[in-house]
Amino acid sequence: MHVSVVRRIIGRGLILVGLLASATLLGPFSGAAAGPHAPAKAVMRGDAERGRAVFNGKGVCHYCHGVDGHREQRPALEPDTAALIARLNPPPPDLRNPKTLRLADDGSRAHVIRGGHPGTGMFPDATMTDQDLADVVAYLAQLRSAGAGRSK
């Protein structure tokens, strides 16, 4: 095989790997990675109550964001874990205060939960299923709306 043909095949393979990684990272929240002519992926519907259980359980979101998003109500943690969380800069955002939140849509929230948020203590969470992720995003919407109602 000619060298230029091999290079093109390898280049296309790398693009395909990148697209597959993007589709996996974004999960159920984006059909964009599939290409412009592919049918749009159905958006998974999240259940906020199941999302609450994941947030306060296997998702360990409550370690940094507090039980049910109340930052002052963190679970009992090992001293070294608590010390690490206390040193996070910037500190984890108050998920109940929509004025302090920067992510504008559910797709962005899902992306950060799944892939992490560089420059912060938000690490990637690969333990959640796509349904868990959809449920947590629904729960985060509930926290934001509860916080918005509280500040009125």
Residue 54: give its domain's CATH number: 1.10.760.10
* The pLDDT value given to residue 14: 38
* The pLDDT value given to residue 106: 94
H-assigned helices in 1-124: 3-26, 48-55, 61-65, 79-86, 106-115
4-55 pLDDT, tens digit per residue, is: 433 444 444 433 333 333 334 444 444 333 334 434 455 579 999 999 999 9
> 3-class SS at 38?
coil
Cβ contacts of residue 33 below 8 Å, gap of 6+?
19, 22, 23, 26
Read off the pLDDT band of 150 (50, 70, 90): low
Residue range(s) defining the domain that contains residue 24: 1-35
The Cα–Cα gap between 22 and 5 comes to 26
> 3-class SS at 32?
helix
| Residues 89, 143 share a domain | yes
Q: Which of 2-6, 73-77, 105-109, 121-125 shows the lowest mean pLDDT across its residues?
A: 2-6
| Residues 26, 53 share a domain | no
| Residues 82, 61 share a domain | yes
Mean pLDDT, residues 133-147: 92
Q: What angle do CA 43, 46, 49 make, to 5 degrees?
A: 180
| Residues 6, 55 share a domain | no
* The pLDDT value given to residue 131: 97
| Residues 122, 48 share a domain | yes
| Residues 78, 17 share a domain | no
Mean pLDDT, residues 130-148: 91
| Residues 48, 31 share a domain | no
Count of CB atoms within 10 A of residue 14's CB? 10
| Residues 64, 26 share a domain | no
> 3-class SS at 78?
coil
| Residues 65, 23 share a domain | no
Number of domains composing the chain: 2
